[in-house]
Structure 1
Amino acid sequence: MARDEEILDLIELLLAAEIFNQNQNLDINDLTPIAREVYGVQSMEGERGPVVVSESALQKVLGIPDAHLRLEKHPLTVYEEFGHRLRITTLPAGFNWFIKHNGEKRIRKNPVLAWYAEKNNLLSDISHSASRDINPRFEDSRVSLDRRISKMLADDEKLRAGLDLIIISAPEEVEQTLDDIICTSDQVQRILKLKVALENLEFLRAHQVFDIGKLLFIGPPGTGKTSLAFALTRVFHMPILEVRLPMVTSQYLGETSKNIDRIFEVARSLSPCILFIDEFDFLAKSRIGDDHGAMKRAVNALLKNIDRIGLIRNNVLLVGATNHPQLLDEAAWRRFDEVIPFDLPDLATRQLILERLLQGFSSGCDVSAVARETDGYSGADLKMVVREAILTALIDSRTQLTNEDLTTGQNLIKNRDASRNKNCQG
């Protein structure tokens, strides 16, 4: 069985290469991530040349040595000694062979093959666009991001100093997705508004509508501010630049302001991207009554840079998040076009969160009862409750969770909060 799957892996790559080479209307986002790696396609720029399937690439990517020996009895493939390359001899016959040998599921997940099958009416209900939608985009990959960073540094080596102040993640590296988060209807509408703006960039630029794409997330800890910021990378297919606050502030005169300038310059040079500043109040504290001149200069530098950045003007989505909105400078408030609240979940939302967290586990718990008992819990608290319940069950060699397991998790939260309050008072 393993050998049969290996043969299908190889034939899929050979078929896709042949179809891709014959049709210039197909692009890099029609190739699966594995195909991009095997074919050595690492850019969306410039005129694309033909792709080839070499034995060395198959061994490096798939771990298949001497692939031509695996296919030596296959009548529809040929091995070219010069270049050590494999190719399909006849596309129609090869594609029909692939369908007959349980390749249909693969075709539906491979945009190049789905395009060929749809064009030639080879499968019912086949959709190239549907296959392309579920195929990871090249611009979401770490390979694409690294190329963009290299190009940025080639254009301006001085930007390297700014890279030390941020953590950059490609969309494919981000675990959070919008499906993992219980968003309010208001939050969903704000995200939809941004999607519409991105789809109409030229129209908005032509009409000089620039004040879009500066979001401030406010709310208690554990309510999903950071999770949603990271999930937006998947929604908008942009890398996220997370500011490393301890690296930004400096004891040297004026260096904090320069670091803020460096961060925003990297964001503009690496656009489209999301610039995420967690604990935003740390950089944008109120200047009223503050005698610290360096801090005032840092806030001024921050405000100046916020004015010069935006989704419409230069394809940068700015997201600030804070647990302490009352500490923010008034001028910082005015620079955000969207202030999005993140409240502690109500009863109905707690039940939805618990159901989502318990999904996939064999559970006989009364979720509604647990939701009623966890008033005042954040989403992060509920996640910790479920995690502790699962570990408690596993210690007892069980996968079936009980309400008692969840009670153990609730007690963990209560003991943690009690310890924190005791330390604060003592």
Structure 2
Amino acid sequence: MSTETDIMSLEVLELLLTAEIVNKYENLNMDDLPVKFRKLTCAKGCNIDIERPVTVSESVADKVLGISDAYSHVSKNPFVKYDDFGKRIGISALEAAAGWFFRQDCKERVKNNPVLAYYYEQAKMGDVSYEESKNSIVRYQDSKEYLEARIEEIVGDDEELKSARNLILISSPEEGEYSLEDLVCTARQEETIRKIDIALKNLDFLRERKIYELGKLLFVGPPGTGKTSLALAMAKKLRMPLLEVRLAMVTSQYLGETSKNIDRIFDLARRLSPCILFIDEFDFVARSRVTEDNGAMKRAVNMLLKNIDTISFVKNGVLLIGATNHPGMLDEAAWRRFDDVVEFPLPDLLMRKKILLKITKELDCTCNYDELAEDTEGFTGADLRIMIKESVISALMRDSFVMTASDIEQGMDSVRDRDNIRQSASI
């Protein structure tokens, strides 16, 4: 089928089949629905259960698919029924309709719809895997919609928690721009990710044996070396929301509120667990001790360290990650709070080449990657991304989609100019 009408017919029929199968199998829930069909149910908030029966009317089809007058596209199908009174559309014979749909060119639709995959796997119809289909879509519990509902449920009318919420950036697992596959990690970084993943899968075992000293990581390295990117990618991999805190932002103009704000943020993290609490600019702990209002800042730092002591990945389900560009500023009191320190060095020659290959995998580039990796010594991963972005813009300004050596040179110059401006400004 290739015409627009045929495509819309299949869209409507897929929606009807999904509703019918969901009504038949009550073990299916919101995690089984493709993202495009989640408006089909009346489920709200944090509830992953589907309110049944699920019905499809003309207005529902329009809301879910953006197709008005949906029945007109499937009216000639003998397996579709229509209720004039409620303008409801349904399937009159599920087995026959599912068989007809399966015989169409709908392999990708089935692959990306766990509800359909479940039915066809049960019916032993074709080489269909429900598990593979389910793993191919974003879980409802990983969605921004679900996370926002959870936060609303937790915060409610609590003014203190509202205050904490306004001080942090919260990202759902699906919002991560990069996955681990998009990043180039050191062997040490990869080992850390594996350890946390294994710990997450064995939390009960660790709790029973009182093995609590893990899940507090300190990321150290120059700006642009991927500390925040890796934290976000870990959130995606581990299917945990990420709460990003910049300590300098938490410092209220009313210094007396700072320690309270820190306490509230940790409280919110505990309630939202399992989650990742990512504390950037951790060297704030050291800088704060030389401020004029040393007493208020000291109380804030003590509150931070106290909360770090009491938070636990194994007990509370909160993975704590501190990040600093200036590890030398941290004293022993800060260092000993972390059970694992992960270094983020400037990328070496091989890493730079790997990063460049990943960044440009969807782009046309005539450059020599070995030479480019050599020419970009001292560049961070962020610098390389900026360089390629500027190179793409340079090519587009020539009305071309292909980056040449000249475009790359312009991108490289742009990064070096930025660095020179930064260095001159700091003198």
Shift of 1:83: 3.8
Does structure 2 conserve the Cα–Cα contact (< 8 Å) formed by 1:218 and 1:322? Answer: yes
Check if 1:104 corresponds to 2:107: yes
Partner of 2:232: 230
Task: Tell me the TM-score normalised to structure 2 length.
Answer: 0.94
Is contact 1:287-1:329 (8 Å) kept? no
| Aligned residue type for 2:368 | D
Cα distance in 2 for partners of 1:19, 1:374 equals 56
Correspondence for 1:123 among 121, 126, 131: 126
SS at match of 1:376: coil
Question: In 2, distance between residues paired with 1:71 and 1:54?
Answer: 13
Output the CA distance in 2 between the equivalents of 1:404 and 1:45.
53
CA deviation after TM superposition for structure 1 residue 157, in Å: 5.1
State the 1:66 CA deviation: 2.2
* Structure 1 Cα separation of the partners of residues 186 and 275 of structure 2: 24
Distance 2:178 2:337 in 1: 27
1:193 — aligned with what? Answer: 195
> Compared with structure 1, are the counterparts of its residues 281 and 265 closer, same or farther at alpha carbon in structure 2 (3 Å cutoff)?
same
Q: Which runs of 5 or more structure 2 residues have no equivalent in the other structure? A: none
Find the counterpart in structure 2 of residue 37 from structure 1.
39
Q: Percent identity?
A: 48
Give the AA of the match of 1:87.
G
Summarize the alignment of residues 80-159 of structure 1 with structure 2, pairs less than 5 Å apart: 80-124=83-127, 126-154=128-156, 156=158, 158-159=160-161
Give the counterpart letter for 1:59 in structure 2: D
Which residue of 1 is the match for residue 388 of structure 2?
A: 386
1:166 corresponding residue in structure 2: 168
Match of residue 72, structure 1, among 52, 75, 79: 75
Correspondence for 2:345: 343
Picking from 59, 64, 87, the partner of 2:62 is 59
Q: Which residue of 2 aligns with 1:302?
A: 304
Output the CA distance in 2 between the equivalents of 1:327 and 1:394.
44
> Aligned partner of 1:19: which letter?
I
CA deviation vs aligned residue, 1:26-59 (integer Å, no higher than 9, x gap): 2321111122212233444568533222322221
Contact 2:48–2:140 (Cα < 8 Å) also in 1: no
Q: Give yes or no for contact 2:255–2:297 (8 Å, CA) kept in 1.
A: no
Q: 3-state SS of the aligned residue for 1:60?
A: helix
CA distance in 1, matches of 2:70, 2:50: 30
Corresponding residue number in structure 2 for 1:274: 276
Alignment-mate amino acid for residue 209 of structure 1: I
Alignment root-mean-square deviation, CA:
2.0
Counterpart amino acid of residue 42 in structure 2: G
1:194-236: per-residue Cα shift (whole Å, max 9, x none)? Answer: 1111111111111111222111110011100011111122111
Retained in 2: the 8 A contact 1:271–1:314?
yes
Amino acid aligned to 1:51:
V
Is residue 49 of structure 1 aligned with residue 52 of structure 2?
Answer: yes
Deviation at 1:284, TM superposition (A): 5.1
Deviation (angstroms), 1:377: 0.7
CA distance in 2 between partners of 1:336 and 1:243 (Å): 17
Q: Is the 8 A contact 1:273 1:317 kept in 2?
A: yes
- Return the offset for 1:286: 7.6
Q: Is the 8 A contact 1:167 1:244 kept in 2?
A: no
Within 2, Cα distance between the matches of 1:347 and 1:158?
A: 49
Deviations 1:241-267 (A, max 9, x none): 112545410243421111111111111
- 334-343 or 277-286, larger mean C-alpha shift: 277-286
Larger deviation, residues 392-401 vs 413-422: 413-422
| 1:19 alignment counterpart | 21
Partner Cα distance (2:191, 2:57) in 1? 48
Q: Structure 1 residues 283 and 78, CA, compared in 2 at 3 Å: closer, same or farther? A: farther
Q: Deviations over 1:266-318 (max 9, x none)?
A: 11111121111111112454859998112211110001111121211111111
Summarize deviations over 1:4-36 as a string: whole Å, max 9, x none: 111111111111222222122323211111222
Instruction: Give the paired residue count.
Output: 424
Counterpart residue number, 1:417: 419
Q: Structure 1 CA distance, aligned partners of 2:251 and 2:73?
A: 59
5+ unaligned residues in a row in structure 1: which ranges? none
Q: 1:5 aligns to what?
A: 7
Q: Secondary structure at the match of 1:79?
A: strand
Mapped to 2, the partners of 1:310 and 1:83 lie a distance apart of 53
The 10-residue stretch of structure 1 (74-83 or 163-172) with the greater mean CA deviation from structure 2: 74-83
The one-letter amino acid paired with 2:122 is K
Contact 1:37 1:61 in 2 (8 A): yes
